[in-house]
Amino acid sequence: MKLRRMHTLNSQNARRATKVSWLVGSLACLLVCGMGGLGCNQPTVVPPTTSISPPIRPSPVPVIPQPTEPIGPPISPPSNHPIDPITAINPWKPEEELRDWNYIVLHHTAADSGSVESIHEEHLKRKDKKGHHWLGIGYHFVIGNGSGMGDGEIESTFRWRQQLQGAHAGIADYNQHGIGVVLIGNFDKTPPTAAQTASVKQLVGILKREYGIASGKVIGHSDVKATECPGKFFPMSDVRDSIAMRDGHAAIETAAPNTVTLINWAGDSRK
């Protein structure tokens, strides 16, 4: 009896173990399938592919051509100089106190070549009436002809820079109060070069304007001394009438002889 009961218990236990094994396997399968494990028929989902489009480029901005300035030299306003245009700049302003100038005395050297230096060396050898040697060149300005100095070159001397009296006229008043201007050349034979003529007109025009010297007081050496200087081919009338303008002013002679008034084109005037 005891053996039969043990056999029956073993059979029941075996059946129970089989059921438990079956239940465990079923649960395991359910768990695996629920988690997407292998061995389960799960539908495969393929994510959609991203389509790559070409980059969008902005349309080019149209370039509008800009107007350009015309190529060429600037157009200068018309000149209102009564005679030949003469520079308004005075490059010969002395640093010393200005002397009382009343005349401009014009000369030639009567030589084909020369310079400030050569004239200075020659005049150093001269003596005055008292036997004293000259200080050097007797003129205030020299204008070259291309031989010894540049053609038309204007050079001031120590007498102008230091505002000293001249030693060129042979008469005291014209030395003391006359600006001596000499041109290299012999104008008894030939006229001055074109460059010399332009330069002497420029110089005389500016000196007249700056220092209130009337045209009637622009003279040749022969006007005050018995000499042919500055020569028969020197254009005295053209040089005498030279006019230089500055800031709307020009040297205009008034009714009174040998006087100059600076006239402003706006209407006012000053002595």
pLDDT digits (tens, 9 = 90+) for 188-207: 999 999 999 999 999 999 99
**1-16 average pLDDT score:** 52
pLDDT of residue 224: 94
User: What's the pLDDT score for residue 90?
Assistant: 87
Single-letter amino acid code for the residue at 253: E
CATH number at 103-245: 3.40.80.10
> What amino acid occupies position 112?
D
- Asked whether the predicted pLDDT for residue 23 surpasses 60, the reply is no
Is pLDDT above 60 for 22?
no
Among the residue ranges 15-29, 48-62, 64-78, 219-233, the one predicted with the least confidence is: 64-78
- The encoded tokens of residue 261 equal 């008034």
Could you state, in order of their start, the residue ranges of all structural domains in the chain?
103-245
pLDDT tens digits for 215-228? 999 999 999 999 99
Residue 108 pLDDT > 60: yes
Q: What is the pLDDT of residues 114-131, one digit of tens each?
A: 999 999 999 999 988 889
Residue 54 in tokens = 């070409």
Flag whether pLDDT at 256 surpasses 60. no
pLDDT at 251: 41
Taking residue 186's Cβ as centre, other Cβ atoms within 10 Å add up to: 17
Q: What is the pLDDT of residues 64-79, one digit of tens each?
A: 555 444 444 443 333 3
